[in-house]
Chains A and B, each alone.
Chain A
Amino acid sequence: MSTKLELPLQNCSVPAGFPSPAEDYVEHKLDLNSYLVTHPAATFFVRTSGNSMTGAHIHDGDLLIVDRSLEATHGDIVIAVVQGEITVKRLHYQKGEVALVPENAGYKTIFINEHSELHIWGVVTNVIHSIRPKSQKKIRSGRLQ
């Protein structure tokens, strides 16, 4: 095996004329991952169903970003497994009391006692909610028809 010396070859065309003033300021594109995901190895996406958390701006069909590397504390919205059921609720964890609290008057708080099995699966960090209804008439932006 011979080693090869690679010589750089200018392979982009160099048009004669006025250089672009933006050339030196090209940044990489903004990436939502870097904004929303701190620990990629520990971050999972889940889909919500139902309306138990609408008070926390989490709606049916929304996408939740869940970071398992975070320790859940009082007030966090968590993905929890209770008696084998997986659910998203706000964690109440104070004065030795533990409960999973919905954010909708139509749903009941789940109280955790020594007989119930609770496993915190991960902490919800963001909700991705589309503000366009799914079955929307397509209106060209900028002009109502």
Chain B
Amino acid sequence: MGKPVVVLSNNDGCVVARSQEVKDLGIKMGVPVFRIYELIKRYDVQVYSSNYSLYGDLSGRVMSTLAYFAPDVEIYSIDEAFIDLSGFRYRDLTEYGNEIRQRVLQWVGIPVSVGIAPTKTLAKLANLIAKKSNSGVFDLSVYPSIDEILSQVDVGDIWGVGFKYATWLREKGINTALQLKNADESLIRKKMGIVGVKLQLELRGESCLAMELLDNPKKGTCVSRSFPQSIDTMPELKEAIASFTHRAAEKLRRQKQAASVITVFARTSPFRDNFYSNSATAELDLSTNYTLELSRVAAQLTESIYRKGQNFKKAGVIMTGLVSEKQVQGNLFDVSNDEEKMRSRNLMSVMDTINEIYGRDTLRFATTGVIQVWKTKSEQRSPKYTTCWQDLLEVS
């Protein structure tokens, strides 16, 4: 116990998660792993590849455990959720937070921190404080002076204030959350628009970001990877993009959604000279989640961003303009007849079913390649303890 641990991004490229011991060594978020080999050796840092099926499973367990504590749970990301405690006004919320923390720890084995406050923005700040406290729970609303706390929070640490806004705010002499709370509204509105106004209200304790519950359909889906060795030929790049498209289309079908806009991007290594990055977007006449249709467009887009002599290190596809499968409107120029549509739908559903039973990519289109030079590296992946029979924990 107490060993420094890092987790690397897809392809074992950069550090995406750090244990406290690693932070104490001064290893920064996002640093490429080859830059810290020295430290890794010297301090015996444990290095792991990302293992998203394990993280996804544990995340789902945490979220469903939270659902025991409040009727409304908003899953904000893989490791963050908001729960609405407004119906629990007569309980000691710090105690309730402790209960939640204990329950998740016992059931799933994941330590969580709980921040409690009247608004989402303040709850995020309360959570920052909870994370650093011994108990892991912090209720901002019972604290005698919220302003005193806000005066100690850097403006860049506020939820929704990105690097760009933080820089601008500091130029205007607004360095803390308290200063933002009390800043001139018209100034904030001019620069940050309605988002800034809402932020100020939230900091003053007026809740104006509603709970977004699960029935909100996703707005976009993205599949991207960096390559273990760089890619410099058009066929290889097309192959890689085709398989990302194949994966994204699978995701869409699982969510019963279709995309109307597809974006393809590719870039070279940002750590080398002559950095090149480009993207191209196409709007589809007809929203679809049919792999072949999406691949055809993705291939054309790939041709437009490929540059000879560039060593591509990362690429991806982004599907946006998502609509529910049910809402897909036919259009005037859509010549495919119903029978053909039915056939492609059946083909997709057979393919998805087979891939679900026999494992990812058992069936795929030849355009995604046979050799797949760009296949992701994950040499240090921890076992998929909870999602794969072969990887179960062994006890004796």
On whether the beta carbons of A79 and B64 are closer than 8 Å, the reply is no
**A57 CB, min distance to chain B CBs, angstroms:** 16
How far is it, in angstroms, between the C-alpha of A39 and the C-alpha of B61 when the chains are bound?
10
A93 at the interface (CB under 8 A from B): no
Residues from chain A with Cβ under 8 Å of B61 in the complex: 40-42
Contact of A69 among B1, B106, B395 (CB under 8 A): B106
8 A Cβ contacts from A20-52 to B: 39-42, 44-50, 52
8 A Cβ contacts from B311-348 to A: none
Counting contact residues on chain B (CB < 8 A from A), the size range is 10 to 19
B393 at the interface (CB under 8 A from A): yes
Residues from chain B with Cβ under 8 Å of A45 in the complex: 386, 392
On whether the beta carbons of B1 and A88 are closer than 8 Å, the reply is no
On whether the beta carbons of B108 and A47 are closer than 8 Å, the reply is no
On whether the beta carbons of B395 and A42 are closer than 8 Å, the reply is no
Residues from chain B with Cβ under 8 Å of A84 in the complex: 1
Complex: chain B residue closest to A71, CB-CB: B106
Complex: chain B residue closest to A67, CB-CB: B107
Given the known interface contacts A68-B106, A69-B106, A69-B107, the answer about A79 and B395 at a Cβ–Cβ threshold of 8 Å is yes
How far is it, in angstroms, between the C-alpha of A32 and the C-alpha of B107 when the chains are bound?
21
A126 at the interface (CB under 8 A from B): no
On whether the beta carbons of B393 and A48 are closer than 8 Å, the reply is no
How far is it, in angstroms, between the C-alpha of A48 and the C-alpha of B385 when the chains are bound?
14
User: Interface residues of A, CB < 8 Å — how many?
Assistant: 22
8 A Cβ contacts from B61-117 to A: 61-62, 64-65, 106-109
Given the known interface contacts A41-B64, A41-B65, the answer about A47 and B394 at a Cβ–Cβ threshold of 8 Å is yes
8 A Cβ contacts from B31-83 to A: 60-62, 64-65
Residues from chain A with Cβ under 8 Å of B108 in the complex: 41-42, 68
On whether the beta carbons of A46 and B394 are closer than 8 Å, the reply is yes
Given the known interface contacts A68-B106, A68-B109, A69-B106, the answer about A46 and B64 at a Cβ–Cβ threshold of 8 Å is no
Given the known interface contacts A40-B64, A42-B65, A84-B1, the answer about A68 and B107 at a Cβ–Cβ threshold of 8 Å is yes
The 8 listed contacts between A and B (C-beta, < 8 Å) are: A41-B64, A46-B393, A47-B394, A49-B394, A49-B395, A49-B396, A63-B392, A68-B109
Give me 9 other A-B pairs in contact (C-beta within 8 A), A42-B61, A86-B393 excluded. A40-B61, A41-B60, A41-B107, A44-B385, A44-B393, A46-B393, A49-B396, A63-B392, A87-B396
